[in-house]
Amino acid sequence: MLIENNQNIEVVIEQSNNRLITNEKKLKIRIIKDKMFKYTTVAGALIVTLLLAYIIFYIAKKGISSINWTFITELPKPPGEFGGGVSNAIVGTLIMIAIAAIIAVPVAIAIGVYLSEDKKTKLSYWVRTGLEILQGMPSISIGIVVYVWVVLQMGSFSALSGGIALAIMMLPVVAKSTEETLKMVPYSLKEASMALGVPYYKTLLKVVIPSGLSGILTGILIAIARVAGETAPLLFTSFGNPFMNANVLKPMNSLPLVIFNYASSPYKEWHSLAWGASFLLIVMILILNITAKIISRKWKIKF
């Protein structure tokens, strides 16, 4: 009896020992899995960072060497002649962004204010849906429509049509950020103003919008950064121009167009101009993004 019991106990101990061992094994496997997952994740993230660093480094290396005084001040030379710059493209990009901003910003802010005021009406539902569609719309489609609407009607390619195409692209970004910002402005602020007898429109213009200004500004800068590098809608609208041009009713050059036209050319001099333009463009966009960040951080809405 006793011996049997002892034997039983031994079996049980052995079994539980075995279980302990397998549990320990399982635990080890689980820990190993956990570690492996962690390492692959970290590795994946690092690879992307390195890749990005490589891309930026590559463009910077190729671009910096072609950026000098003539690059910024001179016009492109005919093929085969050495030197030349992209001053017309720099000016063109700035002018077209300005046109786009002048057209898009007021409308977009008005749309954003509307959405933050009428939160749950039918119209606001459709406007929101519309903004989402517009935001996801391929830029080339916008180019086609602006070609039909503006270029064919005016009978000429022009910087204006390019600006309009870019404005359509800016619209959803600015409108959305305006809406999001104004939503965060506390209702009590508005109530206080209204209670003082300030009319509705003044309340919005003088109280609500100013308190959300940083958010709106950030949205505008991000929108500009987004359209600054756009090429597709400019192919059929602003068209390009080898000369300096400040007439918005005429075709105009821009940095992305320079990159596209020169990158696919067989001329070494034109390649280096394209690298320079790429670098310039990236730096511009970088500065815009950083400024946007600083603004949104510094003037965060705090109440």
By CB under 8 A, the count of residues binding another protein is: 112
Q: Please list every residue from 62 through 101 that binds another protein, using CB under 8 A.
A: 77-80
From 1-9, 34-42, 92-100, 180-188, give the range in contact with another protein by CB under 8 A. Answer: 34-42
Candidates 7, 37, 188, 297: give the one binding another protein (CB under 8 A).
Answer: 37
CA distances from 62 to 56, 124, 255 (A): 10, 48, 16
Decide: is 213 part of the binding site for another protein (CB under 8 A). no
* CA neighbor of 234 nearest in space, from 273, 260, 263, 264: 260
Residue 3 DSSP SS3: helix
Residues in the chain: 303
CA distances from 278 to 75, 88, 134, 165, 202 (A): 17, 15, 27, 21, 45
Residue placing its CB nearer to another protein in the complex, 179 or 215:
179
* Main-chain phi, psi angles of 239, to 5 degrees: 70, -40
Identify the bridge partners of residue 252 per DSSP, sorted by sequence position.
239
Q: Please list every residue from 100 through 159 that binds another protein, using CB under 8 A.
A: 102-103, 106-107, 110-111, 113-115, 117-118, 123-124, 126-127, 129-141, 143-145, 147-158
Decide: is 216 part of the binding site for another protein (CB under 8 A). no
Decide: is 56 part of the binding site for another protein (CB under 8 A). yes
Q: What is the C-alpha to C-alpha distance for residues 79 and 94, in angstroms, rounded to an integer?
A: 25
Decide: is 20 part of the binding site for another protein (CB under 8 A). no
Residue placing its CB nearer to another protein in the complex, 85 or 143:
143
The amino acid occupying position 294 is I
Q: Min. distance of Cβ 6 from another protein in angstroms?
A: 34
Residue 239 DSSP SS3: strand
Unique residue bearing structure tokens 């492109």: 76
Decide: is 58 part of the binding site for another protein (CB under 8 A). yes
Residue placing its CB nearer to another protein in the complex, 26 or 300:
26
From 3-11, 14-22, 56-64, 187-195, give the range in contact with another protein by CB under 8 A. Answer: 56-64
Decide: is 7 part of the binding site for another protein (CB under 8 A). no
Decide: is 274 part of the binding site for another protein (CB under 8 A). yes
- CA atoms in the 13 A half-sphere facing the CB of 54: 6
From 8-16, 93-101, 213-221, 281-289, give the range in contact with another protein by CB under 8 A. Answer: 281-289
Structure tokens at 195: 């209670």
